[in-house]
Amino acid sequence: MSKKYKVGIVGIGAVGTEMVRILRQRNFPVEEIRVMARSERDEEIAGEVLHVVPASPEAFDGLDFAFFAGTEGSKGASQQYGWEAVSRGVVVIDNGDDFRMDDRVPLVIPEINGEALRNHQGFIANPNCSTIIALMALAPLHRAAGIRRIVAATYQSVSGTGRGAIDELEEQVKAYAAGRPPVNKEYPHPIAFNVLPQIGSLKDSMPGYTSEEAKLLFETRKILTAPDIRISATCCRVPVMYAHAEALNIELEKPLTAEQAREILAAAPGVVVVDDPSQALYPLPLKAAGTDDVQVGRIRPDNSTENGLALFVCGDNIRKGAALNAIQIAEKMIEMGLV
């Protein structure tokens, strides 16, 4: 990577801040980091002061990459500026969900379907955080034995909602300790010491399911190029600051033992097997937070279905589930000579 690249980051919330950290941590070949947001100001990130400029079409001029860093559910920035940036010669990598299912836009996890980048039209989408964390474990098993059906229950941290939700959980814990009633604004109910079995809005096209649950279905099919995979998901918000956990039950086309699955996953890039319940070793959000790999454990037969396996995964939703995956997409494009 001898060439240096001019990089824009649109949004400086939880994901945008982490993108700056990761660019530095991974020694990405950066010539310039240009941060854009609604208002002009200075932001200090990991001891580095960055000047934030107001987003505008002209602010993208001269950039090689633009990372749209909105947290899940954020709307507007890539809709307003994404294709405009592409028209100015910028490669856009979007963390939001506005264009994930657009036929023009590759939806990419580099370890899984990096080859999809070859047909890019200047705009690449980052999958949803829960999709990335699940597929880091499931894609190697799918390649080995073919997945027919997935039943997923997710336990998603509040950082997926953004900084406001992180602050709200902290304040609710303090209120509980002080004997005060909790105040909730980010969610319809208090999140501290609670589990909320709804993430996103209800989908008219999938009665009873939420937008988060629908993403897991449709994004998985697109990334794996497997339109017939059946998925039922229940997505829950839990009082955890960082890292999502997911319980996954899969039905395979061919039999695969738990030990074979462990061997496959141990060899998969970006995956760490943590699987010795006799020693209380299994994936944990507290252990996954701040790390780049997805942890997989509790790998066992699911005897309720033919060729069934059950497993439990954890991954940092702000890193691999968002910021890191986006930067890995850019790294992969450089590696492949696409920019």
Report whether pLDDT(295) > 90.
yes
Asked if 180 and 265 sit in the same domain, the reply is yes
CATH, residue 154 = 3.30.360.10
Asked if 38 and 135 sit in the same domain, the reply is no
Q: Rounded to whole angstroms, how far apart are CA atoms 27 and 15?
A: 18
pTM above 0.85, yes or no: yes
Asked if 138 and 278 sit in the same domain, the reply is yes
Tell me how many degrees the CA angle 245-246-249 measures, rounded to the nearest 5.
160
Work out the burial of residue 316: count CB atoms within 10 Å of its CB; fewer than 13 is exposed, 13-18 middle, 19 or more buried: buried
Count the Cβ atoms, other than its own, within 10 Å of residue 41: 13
pLDDT reported for residue 202:
95
CATH, residue 108 = 3.40.50.720
**Catalytic option among 120, 142, 235, 244:** 244
pLDDT reported for residue 72:
41
Q: What is the mean pLDDT of residues 236-248?
A: 98
pLDDT reported for residue 36:
94
Asked if 178 and 62 sit in the same domain, the reply is no
Q: Is 235 among the residues known to form the active site?
A: no
Judge contact between 274 and 298, C-beta under 8 A: no
pLDDT reported for residue 75:
58
Asked if 284 and 327 sit in the same domain, the reply is no
Per the listing, tokens 């956990």 go with 245
Nearest CA among 309, 250, 317, 311 for reference residue 285:
317
pLDDT per position as a tens digit, 136-189: 999 999 999 999 999 999 999 999 998 899 999 999 999 999 999 999 999 999
Asked if 12 and 160 sit in the same domain, the reply is no
Report whether pLDDT(284) > 90.
yes
Q: Evaluate the CA torsion angle 147, 202, 97, 101 in order and state its sign.
A: positive
pLDDT per position as a tens digit, 306-320: 999 999 999 999 999
Asked if 165 and 108 sit in the same domain, the reply is no
Q: Rounded to whole angstroms, how far apart are CA atoms 283 and 322?
A: 19
pLDDT per position as a tens digit, 257-276: 999 999 999 999 999 999 99
Asked if 91 and 11 sit in the same domain, the reply is yes
Asked if 149 and 291 sit in the same domain, the reply is yes
Q: Per-residue b/e over 67-78, b at no fewer than 16 CB within 10 Å?
A: bbbbbbebeebb
Asked if 193 and 222 sit in the same domain, the reply is yes
Half-sphere exposure of residue 262, counting CA atoms within 13 Å on the CB side? 13
- Give, as one character, the DSSP assignment of residue 118: G
Share of the chain above pLDDT 90, in %: 93
Which residue type, as a one-letter code, is found at position 84?
E
Helices (H), the chain: 14-25, 77-87, 110-113, 129-145, 163-178, 211-224, 258-266, 285-288, 324-335
**Catalytic option among 120, 129, 142, 235:** 129
Q: Is 129 among the residues known to form the active site?
A: yes
Q: Rounded to whole angstroms, how far apart are CA atoms 79 and 169?
A: 30
> How many domains are contained in the chain?
2
Q: Rounded to whole angstroms, how far apart are CA atoms 265 and 269?
A: 8
Per the listing, tokens 């001269």 go with 62
Domain membership of residue 24 as a residue range: 5-127+322-335
Report whether pLDDT(114) > 90.
yes
pLDDT reported for residue 1:
52
Asked if 106 and 198 sit in the same domain, the reply is no
pLDDT reported for residue 73:
40
Nearest CA among 297, 291, 296 for reference residue 319:
291
Nearest CA among 61, 221, 35 for reference residue 127:
221
pLDDT per position as a tens digit, 210-221: 999 999 999 999
String of DSSP letters for 186-236? SSSS--TT--B---SPBPTTSTT-BHHHHHHHHHHHHHHT-TT-EEEEEEE
User: What mean pLDDT value characterizes the chain?
Assistant: 95
Report whether pLDDT(16) > 60.
yes
pLDDT reported for residue 252:
98
- Give, as one character, the DSSP assignment of residue 75: -
Asked if 82 and 163 sit in the same domain, the reply is no
pLDDT per position as a tens digit, 44-89: 987 889 999 999 999 999 999 999 997 544 456 899 999 999 999 9
